[in-house]
Structure 1
Amino acid sequence: MSTPAPRRRVPHRPTPRAATFLLALATAVLPTATAATAATTATVATTATATPATTTETRPRPTTTETRPRPTTTHYLDCTSGNDTSNGTSVRTPWRTLAKASTAYRPGDRLLLKRGTTCTGTLAPTGNGTPTSPIRLDAYGTGAKPHIEGAGARAALLLRNSQGWEIRNLDLSNTGPAPTPEQRRAGLLVLLTDFGVGRHYVVGHVDVHDVNGSDHKDPDPSGGILFVVQGDRTPTRFDGIRIEDSTVKHVDRTGIGTMSTWGRRTAYPDGPGTSFEPLTGVRIQRNDVRDVGGDAIVTHNADGARVEHNYVNGFNMRSAGYNAGVWSWNSDNVLTQYNEVTGGHGTRDSEAFDIDGGNTDNVFQYNYSHDNEGGFLLVCNGAGMTSKGNKVRHNISINDRNTEAPYGVVAVVCGPTTDTQVHHNTIVTKHPHTRMVSNNGQTGTTFRNNVFVGAPTPTGSPTVDTLSTFSGNLYLNTAQPRDPYAVNADPLFSVPAPATPGDVRLKPGSPARGAGTPEADGVTRDYFGNRIPNPPHLGAYQGR
């Protein structure tokens, strides 16, 4: 009997109906499948009725681009023991000269100068950092801050057309032979020329001293720490300047300043350049400025700058021009507060604070001015310019003076301003032969809620102003017959002859208590931090 041949096994092939079922099942189980995937499944299932399916699965390769941060480099400079043939990238192989270190740096790089050393000449590095990855210039080692002596160069430290820099813990000087009339010098000069917008600059714990530059004010000045915009082709400005915790001593001409050649606008129709490019993000804070030939701290072409918690002692010491302690030019919304200014020399301006040309909505508050030869406050708009909406409030002036007409402790001179408000200040002087308020024919200033105390002499300190508005001020040893709500009485200070801010606190029973009118300016605290009552007191003190 023969053995039957084994049956050939035929693979199962789904029918069209089964294919439809499989497609529905795939859609239910994999709801996120794409239409293309479902269509492919249907095609495979349908064609399986004719021939066996042979498919090749292709998985997409991941396409990822990994961005690795660029390695940063720290360079070292030792002007005593370094070697320019070294790589400069470790404390054991530092560079030696400023020329070698004046090279290009990249974001995140550092250049560190050895403490206890002195370099002579100019350090002029280049390169652009960013706000998040700045280039840092700092010190390493122990001992005194590294010193750069410019020896009469344009600057000891010069940054030209660079941005994104942080500079800390340096000692800069720049003393050369007696300068010619055009020989400008600076300690630190940051210069942008036809650059566009330069962003992020920090100067901290930098000491600048002994700079004997020429008597140039602007737009190309001499001085200590300077941020300057020049050029006339590409609109250029700074955005983000922070100068803090630094000292400036015995420099000519400007202590700390910003200047620009892009100042033309409606408020300054004859200004330089073809447009107004304001400097923004400017902060000048907690600095000590002493023995300055001209202006101590000045902001030009700024919008929204803050100048606060600075100490100034000695300005206009050598300049032949007009200077002030802290002031702005062609600037808007500048807040000047918590500064102490003293030691102003001379009577050509020389006031502690100055509302000058082209200023709009600037505020001077919570400042202390004392013993300045030029006085406390200057209101001086430039010819053909508009200066409006500025406020001087909650300040204290003790023993300021200006004995040269047409000035006084407060001087309203130059061109007229619009809506300048001077209120809740205490102004007291012991010096004879000075006017309390003086005006040479200008208008636009209102004085109210102030305390004016003149010198305790037979003639006192006269108020010579027949144009400004006076309303509700207290007067002692001075008078203003044009004030319809004048309080002519002793304010009863806690110390009859004040020498410090605390001395102008009011005793109980003072006629200045509760005699003021409220101000709709949103200010709730006085110079001392006291809450302002309603009605307020006259003057800067508002305590109980």
Structure 2
Amino acid sequence: LTEDLLVEVDPVAVSGPGTTYYVSATLGSDAKDGLSEATAFETLSRVNALSLGPGDRVLFRSGDVWYGMLWPKGSGTGGQPIVIGSYGGSVKPVIDGDGYQASLLILDDDYYEISDLELTNEASHLDGSGQPKVEVGFGGPENNEGSGEDVRFGLKVVAATRSLSGFEFSRLDIHDIYPTPASSNVALKHQGYGIKYESQSDLSVGNIFTISSVLMDDLLVSRTGHYGVWVRPLGLSGVDTYKHDDFTLRNSRFLDTGGAGFVIVKASNVLVENNVFDGTGSHLDSRMWQRGSGLWPFDSKDVVIQSNILRNARGPLDSYGVHIDYNNEDVLVQYNYSYNNEGGFAQILGANENCGYRYNVSVNDGYRVDGIDGAVQDGRIFNVSNFCSSGGGCSSTGNFLYNNTVYVPNTFSPDIVFKAGSGETLFHNNLIVVEAGSDVLQTDIASSGVTYDIERNLFYPASLFSLASALTTDALYVDPKLRLPGADDPTMYKLLLSSPARFAGAFVPAGRDYFGLLVESGVRPHIGAYNGNQVLGPIDVPVLAPLWRWLMVVVVVGATGLVSMRLGWVGGVAPGSTVGRILKSDRRRL
């Protein structure tokens, strides 16, 4: 008896017959062949002189440090990329750009997999004799003559003479990226970027170049003068036909970037998921731009931004968890946790088509006050604008804001603003709770140049909202009975079983809620970002005083009839000092 066994696997890059080169700053020598750990090369210059091909690998010794610009030459293929990484330990090798324009440059080459490196670049752009540090062959006005004086990068990918494809960057630590402009040009001090993807097209001579198929995974980008990662084509302004394509950013952290963490300009098919953006628009260093949302797309298409944590954005303008800039099409912001962002939670600018936010949780967003610390706009929970490149503004079609849960503390009072001329906006099933003792939350809902579809939003308590009449359509003003409003924990914004927001929403298309739970078609959804069956808790139990404790009973009924039950407690001597224990857990099928 014989059987044929068919096993399907995802396609992966296959190492070919390429050559592996080893590089050690402490044990190597450029007089050696570089073909083993014992005969490793020593310098970046020796690596930069190689002509690499498909399947080749360049490995840097763990813990060693190099100064200068790594500029590998040559391209791989889809099945045999060029690999750059490390060997000999877990400590990442360091490439200190030392004032060159980039720590790592890829120019007109493609199909690279680069991982396990640390990149930094803030030293002077001048050498010991006072001359700019430049690499021969990288220059021209479009590249700032190759100098790091006025602009600086950790990693730069440039398509100057052809389109490029096939990049995978993983486990890179990129930090402290700042240029060193002259005192007469100090306004450029913020132009330090973690990663930039730049194409240099010239429509006048028919040169159209793009970058495609890029995966960024498990990056750490911190302390940059401006953006963490920037996707930007040059020479294609006003042309919608050509875009960078197929970019994925996942499982990465952006900490204290001077501008936004990720800026997506003129790109299509972009996925941003499972990342943490914390401290964008940072004021940590005087060289920083000091303004920026967690991320934002501009003039882009088919963008999904989901399951990210967006915290502590700062700045006098923008500086939302995510904002949708203008000229976009089909941008979906879903399943994100937005916390303590100065500008606010959700912003949609003009000339957009089918863009919006659904099933997100926002806590403590929008504390900015116009006129304070240079701010030119109050914080806003929701801001729908007609802003675009046209002085008269641009309307949008298909804006949507639905099933978002928003909590506002009593320490500030952000606005809700839908501007005149902003076009179409659907506003359904949003749950907004303001803490007692807050100032009244103001709303500015224009009536000209707009079309609204507004219903089944919950505002609590009603006394803390000054609602424009358009927002009152079929609205609710009851306590939604959240688990623990005010907590910095999205699970505490689930609805209790007794919540009047359960099964009270308007019908909208959605497959899952913030927590991954099913939103069934034909069944009226809950209001807010949670669509499950949380039964109880946490519930305060005074009998346990003077200790601060809760009992927690959780009963969840699954779609298949499986019932999960858990009884436990959390407690401590004061709020914020907690311990816990599961007392009983069981599962039964109905």
Indicate the TM-score class for this superposition, using the shorter chain for normalisation: 0.7 to 0.9
Residue identity in the other structure for 2:51: A
| Structure 2 CA distance for partners of 1:430 and 1:335, relative to 1, 3 Å | same
Where do 1:2-401 residues align within 5 Å? Answer: 71-102=17-48, 103-177=50-124, 183-195=150-162, 197-213=163-179, 222-232=192-202, 233=205, 234-264=207-237, 271=238, 276-318=241-283, 319-320=288-289, 323-381=292-350, 386-401=351-366
Give deviations 1:419-467, integer Å, cap 9, x for gaps.
2011000011105443231244342222111111234235332222234
**Paired-residue identity, %:** 28
Q: Tell whether the 8 Å contact from 1:213 to 1:251 is kept in structure 2 after alignment.
A: no
| Structure 2 CA distance for partners of 1:193 and 1:321, relative to 1, 3 Å | farther
Deviation at 1:391, TM superposition (A): 2.5
| C-alpha distance in 2 between matches for 1:458 and 1:431 | 4
Correspondent of 1:478 among 465, 470, 483: 465
Correspondent of 1:461 among 441, 457, 468: 441
| Structure 2 CA distance for partners of 1:409 and 1:70, relative to 1, 3 Å | closer
| C-alpha distance in 1 between matches for 2:421 and 2:121 | 42
**Ranges in structure 2 where 5+ consecutive residues have no aligned partner:** 1-14, 127-146, 371-376, 388-392, 534-590
Query: Which SS does the other structure have where 2:279 is aligned?
Result: strand
Residue identity in the other structure for 2:268: D
Deviation at 1:324, TM superposition (A): 1.5
Compare the two structures and name the one with the higher strand fraction: 2
Query: Which SS does the other structure have where 2:396 is aligned?
Result: coil
| Structure 2 CA distance for partners of 1:143 and 1:505, relative to 1, 3 Å | closer
Query: Which SS does the other structure have where 1:100 is aligned?
Result: helix
Deviation at 1:143, TM superposition (A): 4.2
Structure 1 window deviating more from structure 2 (235-244 vs 274-283): it is 274-283
Structure 1 window deviating more from structure 2 (279-288 vs 181-190): it is 181-190
| C-alpha distance in 2 between matches for 1:458 and 1:173 | 44
- How does the TM-score come out when normalised to structure 1? 0.80
Q: Tell whether the 8 Å contact from 2:157 to 2:198 is kept in structure 1 after alignment.
A: yes
- How does the TM-score come out when normalised to structure 2? 0.74
| C-alpha distance in 2 between matches for 1:208 and 1:355 | 26
Give deviations 1:65-92, integer Å, cap 9, x for gaps.
xxxx984211111112211111111111
Deviation at 1:154, TM superposition (A): 0.6
**Ranges in structure 1 where 5+ consecutive residues have no aligned partner:** 1-68, 265-270
Correspondent of 2:408 among 429, 438, 451: 429
| C-alpha distance in 2 between matches for 1:289 and 1:224 | 10
Give deviations 1:199-253, integer Å, cap 9, x for gaps.
11000111111111479999x9631122111231521111210000111111121
Residue identity in the other structure for 1:86: K
| C-alpha distance in 1 between matches for 2:311 and 2:514 | 18
| C-alpha distance in 2 between matches for 1:348 and 1:152 | 31
| C-alpha distance in 1 between matches for 2:53 and 2:325 | 40
Q: Tell whether the 8 Å contact from 1:217 to 1:254 is kept in structure 2 after alignment.
A: no
Give deviations 1:96-127, integer Å, cap 9, x for gaps.
11111013201110111010100001000110
Residue identity in the other structure for 1:128: S
Structure 1 window deviating more from structure 2 (310-319 vs 466-475): it is 466-475
Q: Tell whether the 8 Å contact from 2:104 to 2:155 is kept in structure 1 after alignment.
A: yes
Aligned to 2:384: 412
Q: Tell whether the 8 Å contact from 2:311 to 2:341 is kept in structure 1 after alignment.
A: yes
| C-alpha distance in 1 between matches for 2:348 and 2:112 | 36
Residue identity in the other structure for 1:230: Q
Query: Which SS does the other structure have where 2:228 is aligned?
Result: strand
Q: Tell whether the 8 Å contact from 2:276 to 2:308 is kept in structure 1 after alignment.
A: yes
Q: Tell whether the 8 Å contact from 1:194 to 1:236 is kept in structure 2 after alignment.
A: yes
Aligned to 2:512: 525
Give deviations 1:353-408, integer Å, cap 9, x for gaps.
11111110110000010011111111122xxxx31111210000001113333541
Correspondent of 2:503 among 501, 510, 514: 514
| C-alpha distance in 2 between matches for 1:518 and 1:217 | 51
Q: Tell whether the 8 Å contact from 2:407 to 2:485 is kept in structure 1 after alignment.
A: no
Give deviations 1:508-539, integer Å, cap 9, x for gaps.
222211111111x3x22111122225100111
| C-alpha distance in 2 between matches for 1:358 and 1:214 | 34
Residue identity in the other structure for 1:112: L
**Which one has the largest radius of gyration?**
1
Residue identity in the other structure for 1:485: D
Deviation at 1:151, TM superposition (A): 1.5
| C-alpha distance in 1 between matches for 2:501 and 2:476 | 8
| C-alpha distance in 2 between matches for 1:532 and 1:275 | 35
Aligned to 1:451: 431
Q: Tell whether the 8 Å contact from 2:409 to 2:438 is kept in structure 1 after alignment.
A: no
Q: Tell whether the 8 Å contact from 1:130 to 1:199 is kept in structure 2 after alignment.
A: no
| C-alpha distance in 1 between matches for 2:291 and 2:258 | 11
Q: Tell whether the 8 Å contact from 2:199 to 2:233 is kept in structure 1 after alignment.
A: yes
Residue identity in the other structure for 1:538: I
Deviation at 1:314, TM superposition (A): 0.4
Give deviations 1:150-196, integer Å, cap 9, x for gaps.
1121110111111010001111111124999961111111111131x
Residue identity in the other structure for 2:383: A
Residue identity in the other structure for 1:231: S
Q: Tell whether the 8 Å contact from 1:150 to 1:156 is kept in structure 2 after alignment.
A: yes
Query: Which SS does the other structure have where 2:317 is aligned?
Result: coil
